[in-house]
Structure 1
Amino acid sequence: MGEWGCPRLAQDAALVVCELASNALLHGGVPGRAFRVHLMLLPAVLRVEVTDALGERLPVVRPVVGEPTCGRGLLLIAALTARWGVTPLVVGKTVWAEFDLEEGEGSGTGYVVRPA
């Protein structure tokens, strides 16, 4: 995030990546298939995408009842980002979240991060 000129988003972006990746492992996993994390710095937006192979299991925000130890990830994502959603694919889905950039942010050496 520092190289991209967005240091204030570093912690929030890391948390969103962790939540989306955890959800892909727990709820979108298919044996023998991996998931993909994709970060993009666009003109006014930092976009986080996680793609998994299980398109029929869409993310659902559940109400928090009592003191659960899990099930709050999407609530965190909704609170930290400007917007999030799901894009169905032919095989699988992409769950994405976007941070709006402040004026002057994102002026670093922006590029797309793709898995190795």
Structure 2
Amino acid sequence: MPVPAPVLRDSATYPPHLASVPLARRRIDRAVRGWGLPELAYDAALLGSELASNALLHGCLRDRLFRVEVERTADGVRVSVTDPKGERWPQPRTAEASEQFGRGLAIVQAVATRWGVLARAVGKTVWAELDAGAP
């Protein structure tokens, strides 16, 4: 009987402050590189940064933490961000050239192999996956 591969996972909770986004990004980068997947580290960190930024802008409540997780999957890595606002799900849109915001999910769609949203008892989790070897 084959031995299952160990689950490699890292998670941290962050306060709803702008300074949390680069902290999460660096943590994801370090974790993915540490798992021997340097070719996925930049994109995983970018996905985490976009998802964390969206959580701050649209999903966080005052004084409620949000969680960022990165997990080594059989095919690559999965980045997840959980926030407390379950009634507000991400909706991709096309931003006007003059708009400062509105491109986060477009970036996620362009970079991730797949992405989605999971409902929680409280809040939601937005996740994105990268497959090793995918263009």
- Give me the TM-score of the superposition, normalised by structure 2: 0.72
Distance in 2 (alpha carbons) for counterparts of 1:68 and 1:10:
29
How far residue 11 of structure 1 moved from its aligned partner, in angstroms, is: 1.3
Q: Given residue 47 of structure 1, which amino acid in structure 2 is its aligned partner? A: R
Distance in 2 (alpha carbons) for counterparts of 1:3 and 1:52:
26
Deviations 1:7-43 (A, max 9, x none): 1111111111111111111110112211000000011
Q: Which residue among 7, 12, 15 is the counterpart of 2:38? A: 7
- Partner residue, 2:54: 23
Which protein is richer in helix relative to its size? 2
Q: Which residue among 41, 54, 71 is the counterpart of 2:72? A: 41
- Give me the TM-score of the superposition, normalised by structure 1: 0.83
Structure 1 unaligned spans of 5+: 104-116
Identity %: 50
Q: Which residue among 42, 60, 71 is the counterpart of 2:91? A: 60
Cα RMSD (Å): 1.4
Superposition misfits of 4+ residues, deviation over 3 angstroms: none
Structure 2 unaligned spans of 5+: 1-31
